[in-house]
Homo-oligomer: A and B are copies of this chain.
Amino acid sequence: MFHTPRTRMRFSVLLWAALFLCIASTNVLWAQEADAPEFTLQSDSNILWTCIAAFLVFFMQAGFAMVETGFTRAKNAVNIIMKNILDVSIGSIVFFMVGFGLMFGTTSTGWFGSDGFFLSGYLFLEDGSTDYWTFAFWIFQVVFAATAATIVSGAVAERTKFHAYLIYSIVISAFIYPVFGSWAWGSLFAGGGWLENVLGVGFIDFAGSSVVHSVGGWAGLAGAIVLGPRLGKYASDGTPQVIPGHNIPIAALGVFILWLGWFGFNPGSTTTVGGDLAVIAVTTNLAAAAGTVGALITAWIKFGKPDAGMTLNGALAGLVAITAPCANVGPMSAILIGFIGGVIVVLSVLAWESFGVDDPVGAVSVHGVCGAWGTLAVGLFAHESYGGVNGLFFGGGLTQLLAQLIGVVACFIWTFGTCFILFKVISATVGLRVTEDEEMEGLDFGEHAASAYSDFTIMAR
């Protein structure tokens, strides 16, 4: 019979009680009407579009949940689901409490914001009326934060303790993601980050190849390394073994949902109703299509067969890659950027695997590596006028490319560094990895006393 140790339960309850007290304690904080800056009012139609885009991005949570569930084993499906829904739930609350302020609050240093916690001081204009734009901007940003958080769950899947994962999830949404975000996007709202003015030209990451995807990918890399590979992933001689997912149709559904959600992610990053959003929709779609084709061909050559997992990840690779340059390139460049993303993702998955990093769903390659590729692609392909670009353009010259590289490196150092420490600390305190017995039996049973498919026989593997 299963029973969660009473101590673990008590620990968790305490943790949550702390979280809730934290919320309640804001009565005080709230009362202090901060002297926040006033922002440009946005038109109602911009609010509408930004909210609709946020809804599409929110739906990506369902896409991640389906992709990660489908690409892993049936015995861990409930655990995957639980991590995903908690990512967005805890993420929403702590991004409200802490993250948004760190990312978009007023900053004098360029390293993080220092007001706007609990949206305190940001909800009203000076004349006392509601600052609607803050709400629209917030809902758009919170679903971005949740996206970064949830990317990690795939990389650390099938072996991480549930309550350890929740601690990670709180820290990335409250702290790690917002700080890098403030470097690159702080001036979108109140502040202004150091990366935004780097080398004079400034780091360009329009919709977040680095800010969202690489952050998620490198966090996942840190987790996968600290955790070590799943039991059975490597044979005794070190040869990597294939551990196929248990539900490819649902993984494919997840990819389609993510592709749909990206039409909010990229075009929505305009936060403005205008023609640009149509251009971005086109480049986004073409890059996804080309990424699919690029991965299909690469896998076909590598394995001698059109591999489904790689092809589906190819679509995501194309999407991640176009996320930074989507607003600054034309359709031909988008096809190239996506296609190369699709090639890269296959090679990257094989490379990490050969390095001994076990990333069950390929999240490090899709989001980390292709996010870096997309960010650099801005330096290679960006052009001031859309459509004139049909191949290498190199619009910003070496300086722009260097600025992009600085951003990519900064993203890796910050995210991988802090997350590596975080996972090590979790591992040394409350414990990060489940026992071997639990891993063999499945986390659904061990962590949740449940089975995802009570009416079916799940084969042991």
Tell me, yes or no, whether A81 is within 8 Å of chain B by CB: yes
CB-defined contacts of A292 to chain B, threshold 8 Å: 85-86, 89
Contact A123 B330 (CB under 8 A): yes
Tell me, yes or no, whether A347 is within 8 Å of chain B by CB: no
In the bound complex, CA of A454 to CA of B241 (Å) = 15
Given contacts A281-B135, A286-B93, contact A30 B455 (CB under 8 A): no
Contact B308 A81 (CB under 8 A): yes
Interface residues of A in 446-461 (CB under 8 A from B): 447-459, 461
Interface residues of A in 402-461 (CB under 8 A from B): 447-459, 461
Query: Contact string, A139-168, partner B, CB cutoff 8 A, digits 1/0?
Result: 100100000000000000000001100000
CB-defined contacts of A456 to chain B, threshold 8 Å: 74, 246, 453, 456-459
Q: Which residue of B is nearest A255, CB measured?
A: B85
CB-defined contacts of A276 to chain B, threshold 8 Å: 132
Q: Count A interface residues, CB 8 Å.
A: 140
Choose among B56, B308, B386 the residue that contacts A82 (Cβ–Cβ < 8 A).
B308
CB-defined contacts of A9 to chain B, threshold 8 Å: 300-301, 304-305
In the bound complex, CA of A317 to CA of B250 (Å) = 25
In the bound complex, CA of A434 to CA of B286 (Å) = 31
Tell me, yes or no, whether A285 is within 8 Å of chain B by CB: yes
Contact A82 B306 (CB under 8 A): yes
Contact B278 A132 (CB under 8 A): yes
In the bound complex, CA of A259 to CA of B257 (Å) = 14
Query: Contact string, A273-303, partner B, CB cutoff 8 A, digits 1/0?
Result: 1111111011001101110110011001101
Choose among B246, B256, B273, B331 the residue that contacts A119 (Cβ–Cβ < 8 A).
B331
CB-defined contacts of A391 to chain B, threshold 8 Å: 24, 27
16 inter-chain pairs at a CB distance below 8 angstroms, sorted by A residue, are A12-B306, A13-B297, A13-B300, A24-B391, A45-B48, A48-B273, A62-B253, A66-B249, A78-B308, A81-B308, A130-B385, A246-B454, A248-B450, A249-B250, A455-B461, A456-B457
| Extra inter-chain contacts (19) besides given A51-B277, A51-B281, CB under 8 Å | A19-B293, A27-B391, A44-B274, A48-B277, A58-B259, A58-B263, A59-B260, A65-B252, A73-B454, A86-B292, A89-B315, A132-B275, A132-B276, A133-B275, A135-B386, A244-B450, A244-B451, A246-B454, A248-B453
Q: Which residues of A contact B (CB under 8 A)?
A: 2-4, 6, 9, 12-13, 16-17, 19-20, 23-24, 26-27, 30, 44-45, 47-52, 54-56, 58-59, 61-62, 65-66, 69, 73-75, 77-78, 80-82, 84-86, 88-93, 96, 118-119, 123-124, 128, 130, 132-133, 135-136, 138-139, 142, 162-163, 244-250, 252-253, 255-257, 259-260, 263-264, 267, 273-279, 281-282, 285-286, 288-290, 292-293, 296-297, 300-301, 303-309, 311-312, 315, 330-332, 335-336, 339, 385-388, 390-391, 447-459, 461
